[in-house]
Amino acid sequence: MTRRGRGRPPHPDVLTPAEWRVLNEVRTGATNAEVAVRLGLSLATVKFHIRNIRSKLELGDREAMVAWEREPEAVAQPVGRRWLLAPLGMLLGFWKPVVGTAAVVAVGGAAVAGGVLAYTLANDGEGEAPAPASASTATATPDASATVTPDASATVPPDASATVPPDATATPDTTATPDTTATPREAATPGDSQDESGVSVTFWGEVPEDRQAELSEQVADIVRFYDVRFGIRVPDLSIHIASDEQAFATALGRELDYETRWVPALHEDGAIFVHAEKTANTIERYYFEAFEALVAEGRDLGPEWLAEGAAVYMGHLFREWRGTMELKGARNHWRLMASSDPTPLEDLERWSPTDAEWSGTETLSTATLAADWLVAQARPDALVEYYRALPNSESWQDAFEATFGFSVQDAYEGFAIHRTAVVSTHATILGVIRGPNGTRLSSASLFVGAVYLDGSGSVGTSANLDGTFRFNAQNRPLRLEVSFTCPGAWRGLGWYEEEGGLTTEGEEAAILGGDGEDIRGIVIELPAPHRELAEACSSEPSES
């Protein structure tokens, strides 16, 4: 008899119930943001559903979606437990290391007669015939008979009645993490089966072939690690890797704005976009974010610090498993970076583009340190269990307490104590940057850094879009330097003077700190309008 793969069974209707709900709201003329509010979804989830709807129905744009005439069919609901994850073919770990598990398409890097050379890396190292000149990708999965993957939906929640206060002083134990002695297994030859649940990789721009093979192998290991260790599968995921900023914009299908210009990667519309020029070590992080969005089934994911911190933490677990780093070293780095971030964890529950907290690694390190602490209080699989519990919980707070064994408020109080114990105390620096004549800034790509007088180092943060900034520095004498961020580098604007202006001479800069007090009320006035500073990025920026 034929055995169906494990995971979510295919829905009998052309669209899932969640997709029908989104489509019906779109038909009313609602924007994505309005749809998100009406249905209680995140904006990313709405975009994900719209992308799936257009793909399934082969509709070119939003207007075609609105004009499409069909109503949902009456479908009998299945009896029994709720399936949370769709299959990924089976374990995608049996490719030769040089190949990877995903289909690979080169876009822009290998052009033939003005077209695009698209090819799939076969397991024997020989390329298939070129595809038509387009950016479409094919997917491939290995032999389904190779491995049986754990049932991703069969999780056992902890006893919610046995609430145990978090141990604030407990330092995360590296022994409570996945087996780091395991290395990626030698790959075997996959079957010839093609499956729509595979992960595809598309390269945009001039990505060298050896780099393509390296990144394909990395994606293969990422899929294997999450599948074997946690039973995590993200079906129909496409990963787009761009060689430079122009290729990144082409992959996204739009011009880069303030937010997309500076990020190394994005997860939106059910796809991961990676800026290879900045870093490719974010794929494992955004793969987990894709899992978060998938398994939550449109429910509120909960606090941003947990969603972001858990993804970074899981990405570091992957790197330790792969043998490229140790979690202990990463943990020390998180503590060091978090020492420059004064933001209380509870202030990071919700995020908006105008917040500076998520623009630098300091606050992201705080979020990751909190995720690491949660694992130490519960168990290694707790972060995964939390997101799997969301669809069957009344609220994310209920899922949190059922998973970790204590309330969110208890977590905030416990982590605050833990944070004080493992992170050194610093002085807080607060201020604002204004345009000429005290005008208010908007969308300014500015960075404020504290440079210690003894030459031992520096620390800083990106300013908010309105020019405000806040970060921590060690209690030592320092000077403040202001820079304008340019793609790939930055341009120094000058040093802060007592009167609020900037000087290009370091010896004329104001000397601050060293007295054990916070540094507050700093007002820095820029020498030129923001647009002129932005135009300066077109010239060669300083690398220092």
Q: Per-residue DSSP letters for 468-523?
A: EEEEEE-SS-EEEEEEEEETTEEEEEEEE-TTS-EES-GGGSPPB--SSS-EEEEE
pLDDT above 50: residue 233: yes
Residues 369, 462 within the same domain = no
Residues 443, 509 within the same domain = yes
pLDDT tens by residue, 16-74: 878 888 898 888 888 887 787 778 676 667 777 888 788 788 888 888 888 888 766 55
Residues 194, 329 within the same domain = yes
- Contact in structure between 138 and 236 (CB atoms under 8 Å): no
Q: Is 82 inside a domain boundary?
A: no
Residues 453, 334 within the same domain = no
Q: What is the pLDDT of residue 372?
A: 96
Among 219, 230, 211, 145, which residue's Cα sits nearest to residue 184?
A: 219
Q: Which domain holds residue 445?
A: 427-538
pLDDT tens by residue, 424-454: 667 889 999 888 877 776 666 788 989 988 8
**Residues 440, 370: Cα–Cα separation, whole Å:** 34
**133-147, 163-177, 360-374, 413-427: which range is least confident on average?**
133-147
Q: What is the pLDDT of residue 81?
A: 29
**Residues 47, 49: Cα–Cα separation, whole Å:** 5
The shares of helix, strand and coil residues in the chain, as percent rounded to the nearest 5, are: 35, 15, 50
Q: What is the pLDDT of residue 400?
A: 97
Q: Is 79 inside a domain boundary?
A: no
How far is CA 227 from its chain centroid? 19
Q: What is the pLDDT of residue 124?
A: 28
Residue owning tokens 């623009």 = 359
- Contact in structure between 315 and 285 (CB atoms under 8 Å): yes
**Residue 486, domain CATH:** 2.60.40.1120
Q: Is 245 inside a domain boundary?
A: yes
- Contact in structure between 291 and 234 (CB atoms under 8 Å): yes
Residues 200, 327 within the same domain = yes
Q: Is 391 inside a domain boundary?
A: yes
Q: Per-residue DSSP letters for 50-65?
A: HHHHHHHHT--SHHHH
**Number of domains present in the structure of the chain:** 3
CA atoms within 13 A on the CB side of 93: 19
Domain boundary among 402, 422, 442: 422
pLDDT tens by residue, 471-488: 888 778 999 999 887 655
Residues 398, 303 within the same domain = yes
Residues 341, 415 within the same domain = yes
Q: Is 384 inside a domain boundary?
A: yes
- The mean predicted confidence, pLDDT, of the chain is 71
Q: What is the pLDDT of residue 514?
A: 81
Residue owning tokens 């032999």 = 143
Q: Per-residue DSSP letters for 375-416?
A: HHHS-TTHHHHHHHHGGGSSSHHHHHHHHHSS-HHHHHHHHH
**Residues 513, 290: Cα–Cα separation, whole Å:** 43
Residues 141, 156 within the same domain = yes
Q: Per-residue DSSP letters for 201-258?
A: EEEES---HHHHHHHHHHHHHHHHHHHHHH----TT-EEEEESSHHHHHHHHTS---H
